[in-house]
Amino acid sequence: MPRRRIYNPLTELLAAVLLVVLVLVVNRWEFSLAVLVLVVLLSGRPRQIGLAVALVAGPLLVSSLLLHGLFFPEGTTVLADLGVARVTAEGLTFAAVMGLRMTVFTAALLTAAMTLDIPDLLATMTHRGWNRKLVFVVGSAVGLIPHVAQRARRITRAQQARGLVVGRGPLSRGRALLTVLTPLVIGLLVDASERTRMLEARGFSSPGPRTSYLPDSDTARQRVARRAMVAVVGAFSAAWLLTATA
């Protein structure tokens, strides 16, 4: 069931960015884990967000465990000596903390990308007078994941209609994934090229004011709240860093 929209998409996107900043500043696994659980539960799509986070952050976590767990020069508590590599408790701890932080970053940004109302976000940025190229870059980046997921589903259904059978074995799944990835990547590149030509043909680079056909859903109260959020996070971050270095 989709989450009922309460705040403007710009407010939600800023909240996701500030959560990432707080996780970087606090740098404690308890806080990172709490933020991760909060983001997934409040997304309105816990199963979809959880699966997406696992698919994206899983390889990052594995690489962190292999890199820091086996090759951590500051490690002193050796759990296993493999000759060229040493498994140390300090390396595993550092890898787990770094992997958790990367998972939180992934969860916050994926939740924003998969739940935001992209047209409403772009309309708000246009009404606020943001640079048109910046608006296009932000809209493309945030809307890329839903667009890729939708196109992948269409390609999968088309390939299945042509006789694609996905077995249970890893080899069969690998071949099926290849038949989907190849047209997916080619289609995304073609779309990017066509979109560039369409934007230039419609005067995207020309100067002058822009008009949005969507009403501005932003409010003065939310604009004040966004400034207050930035000020509070900035003050908290400065106080936390000063306390940590004292």
- The reported pLDDT for the residue numbered 209 is 65
Q: What is the pLDDT of residues 185-228, one digit of tens each?
A: 787 777 767 776 766 665 555 666 666 677 777 888 988 999 99
d(C-alpha 69, C-alpha 89), whole Å: 8
Residues with Cβ within 8 Å of residue 112, at least 6 apart in sequence = 12, 13, 16, 142
Give the whole-angstrom CA distance, residue 224 versus residue 220: 6
Tokens representing 103? 């998972």
Detail the DSSP E strand segments found in the chain. Answer: 78-81, 86-88
Cα separation of the two ends of the chain: 48
Q: How far apart are CA 104 and CA 37, in angstroms?
A: 9
pLDDT at 1: 41
Query: How many CA atoms lie less than 13 Å away from 215 in the CB half-sphere?
Result: 2
Structure tokens at 189: 């590149």
Cα(67)–Cα(104) distance, integer angstroms:
19
- Cα–Cα distance between 105 and 32 in angstroms, integer? 9
Angle between helices 89-115 and 46-70 (to 10 degrees): 150
Q: What is the pTM of this model?
A: 0.66
The pLDDT, as a whole number, for residue 236 is 93
C-alpha to C-alpha distance for 231 and 235, rounded to whole angstroms:
6
Per-residue pLDDT of the chain (246 residues; tens, 9 = 90+): 444 556 788 888 888 889 889 988 888 888 888 888 888 887 777 787 777 777 777 777 888 888 877 777 777 787 887 777 778 888 888 888 888 888 888 888 888 877 777 778 778 877 777 777 777 777 776 667 677 777 777 887 887 787 766 666 666 666 767 777 778 778 777 776 777 676 666 555 566 666 667 777 788 898 899 999 999 999 999 999 888 776
